[in-house]
Amino acid sequence: MSVRQFKVAAAQMTSGDDLDQNLATCAELAAEAAQKGAKMLVLPECFAFLGRREADKFAVAEVVGGPQPGPIVAALTELAKRHELFLVGGGMPERRPGDGQPAKVFNTAVAISPAGELIATYRKIHLFDVDIPGGAVLRESDSTYGGEAAEVIETPLGNIGLTICYDLRFPELYRKLVSVGAEIFAIPAAFTAHTGAAHWHVLMRARAIENQCYVVAAAQVGHHNDKRESYGHSLIVDPWGEIVAELDAGTGLAIGEVDLDLVAKTRRQMPCLEHRAIKD
């Protein structure tokens, strides 16, 4: 049976290169989300590990979906079951089976049900290769395989489209997700301080408005090391583009209400999706 109105939580963290400490922070945030009545928790990109170099993540990469879960997926599974949460772990290093010394890994979001079942994986399609004037030089493709498939999950909390961070700049991906039923976009991210200040809010609101979907955007925040600073401002945005909840800075949660009836009402009253003249 579907649930039409419920609370969601977008987590905000300053992850570093200590896997155990990062997972301990995830555990604290999951407990807080459940205590405050959230049914869904989205963790940011790199929630489990954010090292000084891209290749540092190879040491903690694990196979996802195998017979025995690795420590990251096992930790999320336990949290989802303990707190009865639908949990999206957004952006963890996934190695290919049998790849003992990886040259690259996937940047993978995992979705876990309140029963502790791994119900979906999404491998980040768009990789962040940029030289920001006055900012960071990042080459995600040097250490990361690009994904190929868009992912929408049918759940009792609605149809959830999964994307990760830099995907946000490619509206055609979100149009594809909504065309196959998405009502909520889960967008874990680690936007840089520079690009976040310029574009974070406007892009998140645009994806919500143009697709008439909720956006649940979980962010990294603050200084991770001497080379990396993230913008923060975890957000929940409704299908009219209104910001329902926001956490500007610090570790914590942005918690807000999702109303799937509002999605249906918005699409009925402003039927943009039906009026598209150019379609795939």
| CATH value of 5-269 in 3.60.110.10, 1.10.3470.10, 3.30.479.30, 3.20.20.70 | 3.60.110.10
Pairing assessment for the beta strands 105-112 and 118-123 based on DSSP bridges? antiparallel
> pLDDT of 123-162, one tens digit each?
999 999 887 666 667 788 999 999 999 999 999 999 999 9
Candidates 161, 178, 233, 180; CA nearest to 203 is: 233
What pLDDT is attached to residue 134?
Answer: 66
Query: Given 45, 140, 151, 229, which residue is catalytic?
Result: 45
* Alpha carbons 192 and 230: distance in angstroms, whole number: 4
* Alpha carbons 113 and 172: distance in angstroms, whole number: 28
Residue 191: how many other CB atoms lie within 10 Å: 27
Q: 146: helix, coil or strand?
A: coil
Q: How many helices (H) and strands (E) does the chain have?
A: 5, 16
Active site residue 124: yes
What pLDDT is attached to residue 6?
Answer: 98
Active site residue 165: yes
What pLDDT is attached to residue 220?
Answer: 98
Domain ranges across the chain: 5-269
What pLDDT is attached to residue 124?
Answer: 98
What pLDDT is attached to residue 66?
Answer: 85
CB proximity list for 268: less than 8 A, separation 6 or greater? none
Query: Given 39, 57, 104, 124, which residue is catalytic?
Result: 124
Spatial contact of 162 and 120, defined as CB atoms under 8 Å apart: yes
* Alpha carbons 71 and 89: distance in angstroms, whole number: 13
- Please name the helix (run of DSSP H) or strand (run of DSSP E) that holds residue 18, with its range, or none: none
Query: Given 165, 183, 213, 229, which residue is catalytic?
Result: 165
Spatial contact of 107 and 61, defined as CB atoms under 8 Å apart: no
Spatial contact of 121 and 108, defined as CB atoms under 8 Å apart: yes
CB proximity list for 71: less than 8 A, separation 6 or greater? 19, 23, 62
Give the residues of the chain that fall short of pLDDT 50.
none
> pLDDT of 83-101, one tens digit each?
999 999 989 999 998 887 7
Residue type, 77: T
* Alpha carbons 242 and 24: distance in angstroms, whole number: 32
Active site residue 84: no
Q: For residues 100-134, b (16+ Cβ closer than 10 Å) or e, as one string?
A: eebebbbbbbbbbbbebebebbbbbbbbbebeeee
Residue 158: how many other CB atoms lie within 10 Å: 22
What pLDDT is attached to residue 136?
Answer: 66
